[in-house]
Amino acid sequence: MSENGPLLKILFVGDVVGKGGRNAVKQLVPVLKDRYHASFVIVNAENSANGAGISKTCIDDMNTAPVNVYTAGDHIWDQKSFEHEINMYQNVLRPANMSTLQPGKGYGVFRNPAGGEVAVINLSGKVFMRESACCPFECVEKILQSLPKTVKCIFVDIHAEATSEKAALAWMLDGKVTAVVGTHTHVQTADGRVLPGGTAFLSDVGMTGGHDSVLGREVKDVVKKFRTGMPTRLEVTEKNIRLDYCVVTYELNTGKAVGIVNGSEFYNPDSL
């Protein structure tokens, strides 16, 4: 408890890759939720369908874990079926700064079981990203104007390659949102901090996928692709799965962050 009411915690899980990643979510999210006393869980699921996109089957699979909201990124439409499935879920987001003609939505307001509401906003970066996206800076400003003033906690997943773009967005939003965390690179960064205005920031949360891999794909396949320059099928690594995460602590009454920790946990296939 602080002078601004109870302190609440949000657990955020980095890009889930394949079945191994989904299994890690099912096993480890309940463990981490308990360990950190987190009341709200956000999972970036953009690679949950065999490394490429999302499907209804994948969401239903992970829904056996206590996940409140799923975010995504540039791979959101890799599974053709998902454009017809995304609207079955109120809690699955795609980047907000994509064409308005795309199905789905880029942000939402959700109830935190421990108190208050959590607005979750999913954005895509523009730098070094293959998809054409609108400006994430303008997009998030418009979303913030549209949110009810009663919503104090605002959590932004900026799915982007360039650390500069993610840091610039976090500094622009410092004091206006609870947290800005990056996804997409699949490599967790060591720069977690609370900015002066009370916004938690981490350049990249990392991934939930094979530890002995290149960003979740089989090492031999990726090395072959780089060495030969030939189109190569990159198999998803399903062994020795690591779940990367961060936990943001914030004041219920103000929505300001007071702490952020990041870490990794390994999936144990023998204990499911």
**For helices 136-146 and 163-173, what crossing angle results, to 10°?**
30
Of 75, 159, 184, 186, catalytic: 75
74 part of the interface to Fe ion, by CB under 5 A: yes
Residue 75 known to be catalytic: yes
> What character string, x for contact with Fe ion (CB under 5 A) and - otherwise, covers 33-52?
-------------xx-----
Burial 229-252 (b: 16+ CB within 10 A, else e): eeebebbbbbeebbbbbbbbbbbb
Of 189, 242, 181, 237, give the one whose Cα is nearest residue 214. Answer: 237
Of residues 151-190, those binding Fe ion (CB under 5 A):
184
How many CA atoms, within 13 angstroms, populate the side-chain half-sphere of residue 60? Answer: 7
In the complex, minimum distance from the CB of residue 158 to Fe ion, in angstroms, rounded to a whole number: 11
> What character string, x for contact with Fe ion (CB under 5 A) and - otherwise, covers 83-122?
----------------------------------------
In the complex, minimum distance from the CB of residue 117 to Fe ion, in angstroms, rounded to a whole number: 27
Q: Which residue is nearest to Fe ion (CB)?
A: 15
209 part of the interface to Fe ion, by CB under 5 A: no
In the complex, minimum distance from the CB of residue 129 to Fe ion, in angstroms, rounded to a whole number: 8
> Which pairing describes strands 179-183 and 200-202: parallel, antiparallel, or unpaired?
parallel
3-state secondary structure of 217: strand
Count of residues interacting with Fe ion (CB under 5 A): 6
Rounded Cα distance, 200 and 106, in Å: 20
Contact 88, 73 (CB under 8 A): no
In the complex, minimum distance from the CB of residue 7 to Fe ion, in angstroms, rounded to a whole number: 30
Binding site for Fe ion (CB under 5 A): 15, 46-47, 73-74, 184
Catalytic residue IDs: 75
